[in-house]
Amino acid sequence: MFDLHVHTIHSADGRQTVEEACEAAIRRGLRGIAVCDHADMWFSEKLNTPAEIRACMEDVRRARRIYGDRLEILQGVEMAEYLDDPEGADRILSQEGFDVVLGSVHSLRLEDIDDSYSRVDFSEMPEEQIHRFMKKYFFLMSEMIEKTDFDVLTHLTCPLRYVNGKYKRGVDPLCFEKEILTVFGQIIEKDIPLELNTSGIHSFYGRYMPDPSLLRAYADMGGRLITVASDAHAPQYIGNAFPEARALLRELGFDAYCVFRKRKLFQYGF
Ligand SMILES: [Zn+2]
Ligand SMILES: [Zn+2]
């Protein structure tokens, strides 16, 4: 299989080189990986610059020379909050050589909150405010799908990893069914695959993103396009829980997963 979402030291939170990621993928028996370092347009963090992405591309080119006969190494980028700085985002995306662009929502502004949801303290937040927060998250996702150009919708419901995983607030994703079904309708219409993200499995969350119940709702609406992604920031998580994810997807009726080359979609049977 292909792991279509992997981070390296070219992300501020990455803890593996491109070469270490490739070696881990080969050990796991994967066919390929997509190196998708962060380009968050919200914060001026170290690694959202065109120069850093160029450095990542250079590492990917070198890795292809070393591992290319054993592993397909795709060049990606995880673009978040594109609409907060469209010119900056375009400067990154105008560079040649991307195989796949991931579309993500990582941060939002709501009332007194103005940060990445991974840094928000949900422990004391009133449930009503959590609901408004989640609705804003899905609204931003819908806006991103409508107005920006990307290939794969990542880690749908990711704030619940913190709300429910880290802070144990027990919020039911089905509270946002209307918003989620709107997102599914949009990506199905645009032929944008949904990512099954396995990074929660071996964390405090212990779940896929999105939940199997939502994957089923996507399939019921006619959604067929899916990618499988570890979102690994360290070698031990590359291809994390892929056999289980594949079994789940087959059970839900998905018979293929998606890969992108030069931003063109290809599908492979499970
Ligand atoms: Zn992300
Ligand atoms: Zn990521």
CATH assignment at residue 7:
3.20.20.140
| Domains in the chain, number | 1
Sign of CA dihedral 148, 145, 34, 86: positive
Q: How much is the CA Rg of the chain, to the nearest whole Å?
A: 17
Distance 37 CA to ligand 2 centre (A): 7
pLDDT (0 to 100) of residue 139 = 98
Distance 12 CA to ligand 1 centre (A): 12
Indicate the burial class of 33 (C-beta count within 10 angstroms; 0-12, 13-18, 19 or more). buried
Residue numbers of the domain that contains 149: 2-269
Which stretches of the chain drop beneath a pLDDT of 50? Answer: 46
CA–CA distance, 198 with 245 (Å, rounded to integer): 8
Dump pLDDT digits (tens) for 146-197. 999 999 999 999 999 999 999 999 999 999 999 999 999 999 999 999 999 9
Is the CB of residue 167 less than 8 Å from the CB of residue 123?
Answer: yes
pLDDT (0 to 100) of residue 50 = 87
Structure tokens of 160? Answer: 């619940």
- Nearest ligand to the C-alpha of residue 106? 1
Sign of CA dihedral 179, 167, 14, 64: negative
| The total number of residues written for the chain in this structure | 270
pLDDT (0 to 100) of residue 44 = 53
Distance 5 CA to ligand 1 centre (A): 9
Indicate the burial class of 17 (C-beta count within 10 angstroms; 0-12, 13-18, 19 or more). middle
Bridge partners of residue 38, in order along the sequence: 78
Ligand 2 is a single-atom ion; what residues have CB below 5 A from it?
Answer: 78, 231
Distance 250 CA to ligand 1 centre (A): 25
Enumerate residues 6+ apart whose C-beta is below 8 A from 233.
Answer: 7, 11, 13, 14, 15, 16
pLDDT (0 to 100) of residue 45 = 55
Is-above-0.85 flag for pTM? yes
